Amino acid sequence: MKNQIIIIVLFILFSTGGCEKQKSEEFNAKEIGWTINTPKNWKIENQRKISNDIKEGLEMIKKNNDIGLSLSGKEISLINFQKNELSKLQATIIPFKENYKGEWNDKYPLIKNYIYSIFISQGFSVDSTSNKEKIDGIDFEIFNMKISQNNRFLMEQNMYRSYINGYDFIVNMTNDNITYKEQMLKALRNSKFTNLKE
């Protein structure tokens, strides 16, 4: 479970380069039956660069917080696209087998508290809210954070999470521009889910 939390934090903390494409594309994730169309003129990130940044970010978190954890190797980066260094959408899935019905929901508050504490420990101020949203019939838990430092707004982060086909599905969006936020939300809200397991 802690490995899942670490991955979520890494996606929030680290913005990467290595972008490859700018045209609009349809992306499919067969594991969860998810299809999303990327916004036009957004860049799709290089997955190898993302993997390297995750490893570097993990080492930083371990050093600063004495967590002593490593990646499980089962995290799957689905798609990552960005408009600029801070405005980006990152989607990943992590296998999560519930030991009892509802375990995924029970763990969610721990994840939110951990993410919040990571930002606070790095000297940021955080204003957070939580809510729910349904997208194409799928229920999502949402964790929103407005992040600032020294009384200066830096960015907003919106994390959408759902439990689909035995996976913890995480869509993390960060932005420093309301227009870019709306474009990411539109792409996510127009995405589709098919072939879901009961």
Of 147, 157, 158, the C-alpha closest to 124 is: 147
Model pTM score: 0.78
Residue with token string 């499919």: 28
Q: Where are the beta strands (DSSP E) in the chain?
A: 19-21, 26-29, 34-37, 43-45, 76-82, 88-95, 125-135, 138-149, 152-164, 167-175, 192-193
Buried b (16+ CB within 10 A) or exposed e, 56-82: ebbeebeeebeeeeeeeeebebbbbbb
Helix (H), strand (E) counts: the chain: 4, 11
Walk along the chain (198 residues) and give the pLDDT tens digit of each residue. 444 444 445 455 544 444 544 566 899 999 999 999 999 999 987 554 555 555 565 555 555 554 444 444 477 889 999 999 899 999 999 898 889 998 988 888 888 888 888 889 889 999 999 999 999 999 999 999 999 999 899 999 999 999 999 999 999 999 999 999 999 999 999 999 997 776
Whether the CB-CB separation of 167 and 32 falls below 8 Å is answered with yes
Give domain 2-193's CATH number out of 3.40.50.920, 3.40.50.300, 3.40.1000.10, 3.10.20.30.
Answer: 3.40.1000.10
Residue type, 24: S
How many Å is the Cα radius of gyration of the chain? 16
Q: How far apart are CA 91 and CA 71, in angstroms?
A: 17
Question: Cα separation of 40 and 112, whole Å?
Answer: 32
The two three-digit tokens of residue 34, written as one number: 């998810």
* Res 75: pLDDT: 78
